[in-house]
Structures are given as C-alpha cells and as structure tokens.
A = this chain, B = another copy of it.
Amino acid sequence: MADRLRANDISPTHQRVEIARVLFERQEHFTADQILGSVNARHAEVSKATVYNTLKLFVEKKLIRELIIDPTRVVYDPNTTPHHHFYDTVSGSLTDIPADQVRVMGLPPLPPGMIADGVDIIVRTRPLNEPAMSGPTQPE
C-alpha cells in the first residue's frame, strides 16, 4: 500500500496508509465519516482533519473519485475506472455500472468554447413495492 502511494507521489505516512487500506482493500463507496470510523475502529489513529486532507489529496492524485449523489454528504469511490451508478433512493446504497457497455446517443453539441470533462449517469432505483420516496434512510 505504501508503494502504491509512493507511485502516485504521495509520501506514505501512517495515517495515509491506514486510510488507503480502508478504501482500496474494501473497494466500496465511503463517506468521510465512514472512513474516519473504520480507521479508528480499534483505537484512535487519525483525526477528522487528516481524513478530509487525505481524501482531497487522493482525489487530486486521481486515486479516488468524488460522487455527488447524496445531498447531505460526498461519497468517495475507490473505483476510478469509467463507470456509472445505480442509486437506491430508499436505502441510499450505490452499485457500480461498468461504462464500457453503456452508450449515450443524441447529446446536443456542447456550448461553444466548452470541453467535455466527463459524463455521469445515475439510475435512481426503488424496491418494487416501496411507497414512492422522500429521502434515503441514513445508515448508522
């Protein structure tokens, strides 16, 4: 894990390695708070400020992606391959959709002088019988 950080021009401090382990060994979608909790589950190792500092650094270095899907918090995605998401509006859970099969057609030309930076697709889903929705249940 330290080598992986070094390979991306990041000095592998103890805190950064611990955060990277949570992200890359588990390969799930995480909020900052979940990472803080996971890293410090056994005993305090990392502060809130460092979690935010480190996540920002990892995003800059393109080790992870930010997902803006939940109105109340940013979700971090250790999967940086091009992909989209199913978003269960009831439970709040996210599922990856590999992008290589997906094709979007008929998009209009970009506003002049603009360059495309990426396309995000979010498929909102809901359990078959669930009575419509308002907001997802916040886990823990």
Contacts of A114 in B (CB 8 A): 86, 88, 125-128
B89 near A117 with CB under 8 A, answer yes
A115 near B108 with CB under 8 A, answer no
Tell me whether chain A's interface is mostly helix, strand or loop, or mixed: strand
A123 to B124, CA, bound (A): 17
Identical subunits present: 2
- Tell me the smallest distance from the CB of A52 to a CB of chain B, in Å: 12
Number of interface residues of A (CB under 8 A): 41
Contacts of A102 in B (CB 8 A): 104-107
Partner of A116, one of B107, B108, B116, B123: B123
- Tell me the smallest distance from the CB of A100 to a CB of chain B, in Å: 9
Interface pairs A-B: 7 shortest CB-CB:
A101-B106, A117-B124, A114-B125, A103-B105, A102-B106, A120-B122, A117-B126
A residues sitting closer than 8 Å to B (CB atoms) are 60, 66, 68-71, 74, 86, 88-89, 95, 97-98, 101-108, 110-111, 113-128, 133-134
